[in-house]
Structure 1
């Protein structure tokens, strides 16, 4: 049985602590709910329609074709909210009318107009419910005028009492007036969630929760959030009426309790202070397909879960506010078999820890494939960073153009884990500096790494000395690679490394290889080592069939 929330303001109180290029549009309908399978349908209009719904009448009324009419066959009751008494001029709150209309197996249709809301609409435990707009605009009340919980327009399902099937689509949210930033929708659904074509206009300026939160509560459930856009971002909380009551401020889209499969397709988020798309806390599968994510603090795309995919997103960091501390492109964590494919990441206004991609300690396994990274700016910044406790990581068919003041295009951090980090068909170019001492193309501190068909150019900015690869681990293999750098193409401080069938050349006339005294048992076979090897006391050096010109 669905919950109609007899106490309208039951959620009143303090805020909780928590918080492009794609295929053509695809439309999904509820499984097992096609038009031909539904024999009963009511299209209800006016005050008499409300009464009919209350006593279960089913007088069918034909409706004009609208964008929402394709869904009428999925519901027993279809209600035009204006005919049922909702004001579409933006002058009177529609929430009381929606509460009277709330019912299971019901689709609420919002014709063109402006709909003012000064109170949360809540509905939980439903089987099948929908809210769709035909060129409709929702207008939130000013924060001070909002009645009850001041941080949501629609709360549809909760974690302990989710809805089963939900559709919500076709709305602009006008937050351009001062202090009207609010969460548009929070949805917890067990079986099927469909959210499409939601555009939030205006900066989220009240300090309350960000525009959307979505979770699939059942491992077999599925959901899609498509074209959900809030490109104007949000203010840091201390610049809002809610200063001092939260950390940082709003998240763009949150999905941190997801257990099923949840896809975010062609969404767009601007600068949010507490992550853009934040979907790292659940154990379900997250799919990010396309979309534009820009200038959020924390991370622009932050994903976890099992077998999650981040495919073809565009991530840009081209602006930094005074409060921003980290603006990472993509951050993956809390999961296994997470894949980044086809990402385009451009960072031109970096902060010191704004890595393009971070594979965090809680990431059990990851693959970065067919990804393009471009980085520039006057600060130290790193490209792909593999954290110490991250598991197996594969980087393939990827290019990094790195032109910051310093930093590592790839940093494989020191680890006790035995799993391999593999880079294959990786290209690193660009003129970077050595600010902070970060002056290596690939910094490898981990054991059992393999670099195959890697092409690295590190000429250095304004005469800076940079190296192509610096190895500090054991059992590194470099195979069929081309390494060129202004200082040394290859530097070894580890043990049992093998460099084979590769070309190594210093562009400033230094040796191809520098071996420190800590290096043990390095092997160089069938390479072109231009100007030879500089040996500073390495032990058991093996060379075979190399050339030195």
Structure 2
């Protein structure tokens, strides 16, 4: 639960970002809410972020944001949230856009930050992080249900082929509402332009209408390790790309959500994918727990436990897919096939 203290609240209101002026952030209008402390002249949030280096937010402080914080072309940016909260106003646009795929930040770190999207219509992209060489995003909590048909709370990407990153302990337990015929928000996207390597570990993602974690980069590596995923539509984890992996994660599917057309834990869309150590509980009626699509070159699945009795098949392989090697799949309950080939 996000803790708020009135005496530490800060209000940062901004004009909307003019998308036609690439690379230039919105002009801020700064003030303080009734009963709140004044914003320190040297620590106006957007100015600090634009300058790069290390930005320390005040612990247990609420920063009310209306508009977009957008920065590009920095060598280094570290945002230490220190448990502070960004309170997002109604928007279906961007809130914190740190770098772009064309102008990433060389070394980017964002840690220990709460993001409050409980306001009606606050379902834009809360945090977008593009790094060139090094990315670290950790201990991020998104409070509230994503309630617009666009974007989703978070996107990450590493844009140098030799670059690497870690995204850890991100929590989005409330998921998102189905508001657009099954095409609502995705919890966490990996950029289509991602070319480096990123490890996503120990994240908790609730029921989103359009995937929990989704990557579709042809060149980059994505490795999902640990974490829990609940009742997400399309897939809790959806992988597409060379050298992707999914290991030691837990999936709980125990609620059929109206408007979610196909809730499944895992979908493999393309590339070479390794899957191991999954614990899947599926009590709702669905076609399969793991779906392998026709553009997938190869999939290795081993040491997985499937229970709950809700899936018709444990693993479904669509015609045209490359070889699927499944070993040590422990299935409890009746299924038509452990591996079913369409």
Mark the CA change 1:291 to 1:89 in structure 2 (over 3 Å): closer, same or farther.
Answer: farther
Q: Return the offset for 1:295.
A: 0.9
1:408 corresponds to 2:337: yes
Matched, 1:109 2:38: no
1:348 correspondence with 2:283: yes
How far is the alpha carbon of 1:299 from its aligned partner?
A: 0.8
Matching residue within 103, 111, 122 for 1:180: 122
Which residue number in structure 1 is paired with residue 141 of structure 2?
Answer: 199
SS at match of 1:364: strand
Offset of 1:90 from its aligned partner?
9.8
Deviations 1:1-51 (A, max 9, x none): xxxxxx9622279xxxxxxxxxxxxxxxxxxxxxxxxxxxxxxxxxxxxxx
User: Aligned pair in 2 of structure 1 residues 173, 105: CA closer, same or farther (>3 Å)?
Assistant: closer
Whole-angstrom distance in 2 between the partners of 1:93 and 1:391: 61
Q: Which residue of 2 aligns with 1:525?
A: none
- Measure how far apart 1:268 and its partner are: 1.0
Which SS does the other structure have where 2:47 is aligned?
helix
The runs of 5 or more residues in structure 1 that have no matched partner are: 1-6, 14-84, 144-149, 239-245, 414-549
8 A contact 1:108–1:130 mirrored in 2: yes
Tell me the residue number matched to 2:318.
Answer: 387
1:110 Cα shift?
Answer: 0.6
Given the two structures, how large is their TM-score scaled by the length of structure 2?
A: 0.85
2: distance between equivalents of 1:412 and 1:233? 32
Name whichever structure is richer in strand by fraction.
2
Other-structure match for 1:216: 158
Counterpart-to-counterpart distance in 2, 1:171 and 1:369: 36
> In 2, distance between residues paired with 1:126 and 1:349?
47
Would you say how many aligned residue pairs link Structure 1 and Structure 2?
315
| Deviation of the 1:218 alpha carbon | 1.3
- With over 3 angstroms needed to count, the CA separation of the structure-2 counterparts of 1:176 and 1:342, relative to structure 1, is same
> Could you tell me which of 251, 270, 274 is aligned with 2:210?
274
User: For residues 313 and 92 of structure 1, what CA distance do their matches in structure 2 show?
Assistant: 43
Q: Contact 2:182 / 2:259 at 8 angstroms: preserved in 1?
A: no
Inter-CA distance 300–198: structure 2 relative to 1 (3 Å threshold): same
- What is the alpha-carbon distance in structure 2 between the residues aligned to residue 117 and residue 231 of structure 1? 22
Rg (Cα) greater in structure: 1
Structure 1 residues 365, 197: closer, same or farther in 2, change over 3 A?
same
Quote how far apart the aligned CAs of 1:196 are. Answer: 0.3
Going from structure 1 to structure 2, the CA distance change for 1:273 and 1:215 (only over 3 Å counts) comes to same
Runs of 4+ in 1 over 6 A off after TM superposition: 88-94
- Seen in structure 2, the aligned counterparts of structure 1 residues 93 and 177 have a Cα distance that, compared at 3 Å, is farther
Shift of 1:381: 2.2
Q: Determine whether 1:313 maps to 2:249.
A: yes
1:237-275 deviations in Å (ceiling 9; x for gaps)? 24xxxxxxx862100100142211011100111111111
Using CA pairs under 8 Å that are at least 6 residues apart, name the structure with larger relative contact order, 1 or 2. 2
Correspondence for 2:198 among 257, 262, 266: 262
Distance 2:32 2:255 in 1: 40
What is the CA-CA distance between 1:131 and the residue it aligns to?
A: 1.2
